[in-house]
Structure 1
Amino acid sequence: MLQALIFDMDGTLFQTDKILELSLEDTFNHLRHQNRWNTITPLNKFREIMGVPLPKVWETLLPDHSLAEREQTDAYFLERLIENITRGKGALYPNVIEIFSYLKKNNCSIYIASNGLTEYLNAIVSYYELDIWVTETFSIQQIQTLDKGDLVKTILNKYDFQSAAVVGDRLSDFYAARDNGLTSIGCNFDFAQEEELAMADFVIDDLGELKTIVHDF
């Protein structure tokens, strides 16, 4: 049986889609009000790149804006995300608590490794009381490279376990597993893309399916 599972957050544990459109629309309305944006909110473009670190997000969505403007936009977007989380606008995916409980009962440690910012991740963990099950949550902010493989390596260096898997929905998760000699489990959820899921060792349509995978190791 696996000793640890390292979960992505957005699109894997947390249904980011429920607050994404609200928060992004709020942010671009803010930009329009400041005369710094004059067209539609690029929601579809954001969906395409979902899962990359936020600095890369704003480079893509605001290519003609200055670094300072992108940083200001990032800060405002984070405020809107956190407010929508604390107002209960988001949701966990089905069976998150069930699988967490199962893993803990079977002595499988739980970690979160996300490209999300620390404050954002803490808001989700706090609101849904995930720290009851999760040993530690790691943000991409904790490393300089902004590489998820390096973030997963940080977990491996800190905690002593021999067998583990990375559970996520995007290519960065599967590469992070591969680069660290771990098993990758792809979640065929909202933001997943078929060609990326093909890189995962396993693909699931529901988190409850993890029971069988974890047990068979």
Structure 2
Amino acid sequence: MTEPARVPVLNIANVLTMSRLALVPVFLYFLFAEDGRQFWWRLAAFGVFAVASVTDHVDGNLARKLGLITDFGKIADPIADKALTGAALVGLSLLGELPWWVTVVIAVRELGVTLLRFWVIRHGVIPASRGGKLKTLVQIFAIGLYLLPLPDYLEPVALVSMGAAVVLTVVTGVDYVIRALRLRARGKRAVAGAGLDLEQERDVSGSGA
């Protein structure tokens, strides 16, 4: 029986993921240039943020279509997303354009989910859920609006979008906690079951002797 080919970690999908991480310092440089108030620098920061966000969609599609899904990608992809959105949120708060409590709520959720992934990694990998993907999309949209030098009459749109992002962030965070606990419980049951089967095999072999 032929074993399935091993997917190399160094593939186009993972390279795009790592490039998203590499764009984070570039984005921050543009965001804080001229104290974050200059029109063209803010457009440049938005452009880098938009390009980096698009790579998230592209690398996921390539991984699925070309069969390039790896455990490294499952872990690195959400970390790259969190690095980008986290940098944007902290940057906007430092500039006084976004309340710190919003940044803290989102950051705590994102860090918590990342730690949960590592906590249960020996039992399996928690892939991104549909709710998590929607949360990321809404976050990106809301952050993009805050990055753009919008006229005053469009500010309520940015506020509502960020409010929706916060709600989705909290709700999906609770969902990830539940999924992590279930995965850990299944893993423990599987280990216990394997140990019971091994013990039964020993009993059978011992009685046969």
TM-score category by the smaller chain? under 0.3
Higher relative contact order (CA 8 A, sep 6+): 1
TM-score by structure 1 length? 0.24
TM-score by structure 2 length? 0.24
Bigger helix fraction: 2
Bigger strand fraction: 1
